[in-house]
Amino acid sequence: MKKPLPADSGILFPKDLPAEPVDWLRLFGKEGPVELEVGCGKGRYLLERAADHPDRLFVGLEFARAYVLTIEKRARQRGLANIRLFREEAARFFRDCLGDRSLHAFHLFYPDPWPKTRHHRRRLIQDEFLADLRRVLVPGGIIQIATDHEGYFEWMARKFNQWKGTFLIEADIIDSPRKRHGLKGRTNYEVRFLEEGRPLYFLNGQRTGF
Ligand SMILES: C[S@@+](CC[C@H](N)C(=O)[O-])C[C@H]1O[C@@H](n2cnc3c(N)ncnc32)[C@H](O)[C@@H]1O
């Protein structure tokens, strides 16, 4: 059983999941394009992006209690009114809590790679998840994924490839992303991997209009 979270601050939503898709207007109190990050860790990317785009609405999904509390504290300190957090498992949240064409962007940075074959079914990117991603992204909705794990990269590329007419995805492998692209770390893991000089793998694209 999940350890309860502190009383609702307006940013964090630890309550029972809604039985119907989340109503963004009710949740944020205003309208705007919604971007969602899965496994946002300590929230470096989500917080920076929310500060840079006050006209957009940001949802973070993260099941680590300590992390959602950190993000919530920082969002409050920075006066960010356009962030909401759910301490939830992403596949379930996508299946049960997201309405059709309700997201304008999906971000997934350095998801757990589950390297052992017998654990591959725990990977987030599965056929069922992509069916939900297709359903919830608006046509033209952005997809941004990064991983340091070659095997998971290939797995994800193969899965997206099966949905060629639905997702337009470009794969990119970069040996020294900091040198070649001046990439500054967007997330804590990315900062660490860049410092270590590891090859990084990217899948960027969008949901097509069909
Ligand atoms: C390897 S860390 C990467 C964190 C962050 N994205 C970064 O790049 O620094 C993966 C994070 O995703 C969270 N996570 C993994 N699977 C998840 C899932 N199915 N639903 C929600 N959060 C998940 C973990 O708790 C962890 O914080």
Return the residue whose CA atom lies nearest to atom 4 of ligand 1: 41
DSSP 20: S
52 is catalytic: no
Q: What is the pLDDT of residues 90-119, one digit of tens each?
A: 999 999 999 999 999 999 999 999 999 999
CB-CB neighbours of 74 under 10 Å: 16
- Whole-number pLDDT of residue 178: 58
- Whole-number pLDDT of residue 8: 59
- Whole-number pLDDT of residue 194: 87
Beta bridge partners of 203: 145, 171
Report how far ligand 1's centroid is from the alpha carbon of 63 (Å): 7
**Gap between the Cα atoms of 47 and 12, Å rounded:** 14
Q: What is the pLDDT of residues 7-51, one digit of tens each?
A: 556 777 755 666 689 999 999 999 999 999 999 999 999 999 999
**Gap between the Cα atoms of 69 and 12, Å rounded:** 8
Residues 47, 119 contacting (CB under 8 angstroms): no
Torsion, Cα 54 170 132 121, to 10 degrees, reads: -120
> pTM of the entire structure?
0.94
What are the residue ranges spanned by the domains of the chain?
24-207
Residues 83, 75 contacting (CB under 8 angstroms): yes
Pocket test for ligand 1, best of 46, 59, 63, 85 (most atoms within 8 A of CB): 63
Instruction: Please state the length of the chain.
Output: 210
Return the residue whose CA atom lies nearest to atom 11 of ligand 1: 39
Residues 100, 135 contacting (CB under 8 angstroms): yes
One-character DSSP codes across 85-110: EE-S-HHHHHHHH--TT-EEEEEEES
Residue among 112, 127, 132, 148 flagged as catalytic: 112
Q: What is the pLDDT of residues 118-136, one digit of tens each?
A: 999 999 999 999 999 999 9
Q: Which residues surround ligand 1 with Cβ inside 6 Å?
A: 38-41, 61-64, 67, 89-91, 109-112, 124, 187-190
The CATH homologous superfamily to which domain 24-207 belongs is Vaccinia Virus protein VP39 (3.40.50.150)
Copy the structure tokens of residue 208. 């097509």
- Whole-number pLDDT of residue 164: 87
Atom of ligand 1 nearest to the CA of 108: 6
Return the residue whose CA atom lies nearest to atom 13 of ligand 1: 39
Q: What is the pLDDT of residues 166-200, one digit of tens each?
A: 999 999 988 765 555 667 889 999 999 988 888 99
Report how far ligand 1's centroid is from the alpha carbon of 114 (Å): 12
Q: Please report which confidence band the pLDDT of residue 1 belongs to, taking 50, 70 and 90 as the band edges.
A: low
User: H helices of 84-187, where?
Assistant: 90-97, 127-136, 150-161, 177-181
Distances (CA, A) of 209 to 127, 129, 141, 167: 20, 19, 9, 9
